[in-house]
Amino acid sequence: MRRVVPLALSGVVAAQAGAAELTVSVEIPRLNVAEYHRPYVALWLERKDAGAVGTLAVWYDLKLKDREGEKWLKDLRQWWRRIGRDLALPVDGVTAATRAPGTHKLVFAADRAPLAGLAPGSYELVIEAAREVGGRELLRIPFDWPAAAPSTAAASGEHELGAVSLTVQP
C-alpha cells in the first residue's frame, strides 16, 4: 500500500507499467461535534458468498501506550468478525495510524497481498468506520477481478464516511 498524492500521475504509471491495481478513495467527513476523534477505519475484500479474503488497510490509534488502541478494534465490528480477530497485530503494510478528515487515495498493486493470487471472481470492497464517542458505518462496493476494462464504482456514507470510490485497473 502506498499513498499517492497526484492521482493522474498514478494512472500514467499504471498504464505504462500495465500493472493491474485497485485505487480506493475514502473521504473522512469533517464533523461538527463537541468531542471529535479520528475514526478507526478498515478496508477489506470479500468474495461473494465466500467471506473475507484479505485486509487492505486498518487505521487505528497506534500511539497509545501499551497498545491500548487495539482495545477498540472490536468496534470495527464486521472487520473484527471477518478478519481482525484472526490477525496478529500490527500487520506490516496494512495497519497504520488514523487519518484526518479529508479525502485519502490508496493504491493497491496486483502483485502484493491480498491482491496477489486473488482468484478471478466477483468481490466486494468493504469499508467500515467506527468513531470513539461517535457512530459506525459500513459501505460495500462490488467489483470483478480481474477487470476487463478500467472501471470505477462509488458509494456514499451518511455520517461516518463521505464519498468512497473504487477504480479497478486491468
Partner 1 sequence: MSRMLNRAALALAIFVLPLSAQAHRAWFLPSATVLSGNDPWLTVDAAISNDLFYFEHMPMRLGDLVVTAPDGSTVAPQNASTGRYRSTFDVQLTQQGTYKVASVSSGLNARYRLGTESKRWRGSAAELPTAIPAGATDVEVSESVRRIETFATLGKPTLRATEPTGVGLEFVPVTHPNDLYAGEEAKFRLLLDGKPAAGLEVEVVPGGIRYRDRLNELKLVTDADGGFAVTWPAPGMYWLSASVRDEAGTIANARRSLTWVATLEVLRP
Which spans of this chain sit near partner 1 (rule: CB under 8 A)?
Answer: 66-68, 70-74, 77-78, 80-81, 84-86
How far apart, in whole angstroms, are the C-alpha atoms of residue 126 and residue 134?
Answer: 20
Q: Residue 49 or 66: which CB sits closer to partner 1?
A: 66
The CA distance from 109 to 21, in Å, is 5
SS3 86: helix
Q: Least distance (Å) from partner 1 to the CB of residue 70? A: 4
Backbone angles phi, psi at 43, to 5 degrees: -125, 125
Residue 109's identity, in one-letter code, is A
Q: Which three cell numbers stand for residue 69?
A: 488502541
Please list the alpha-helical segments (H only) found in 18-166.
77-82
Nearer to partner 1, 77 or 104 (CB): 77
Whichever of 3 and 71 has its CB closer to partner 1, that residue is: 71
Least Å from the CB of residue 78 to partner 1? 7
User: In the complex, what is the shortest distance from the CB of residue 36 to partner 1, in angstroms, rounded to a whole number?
Assistant: 22
Q: Give the nearer residue to partner 1 in terms of CB position, either 112 or 159.
A: 159
Least separation in angstroms between residue 98's CB and partner 1 is 16
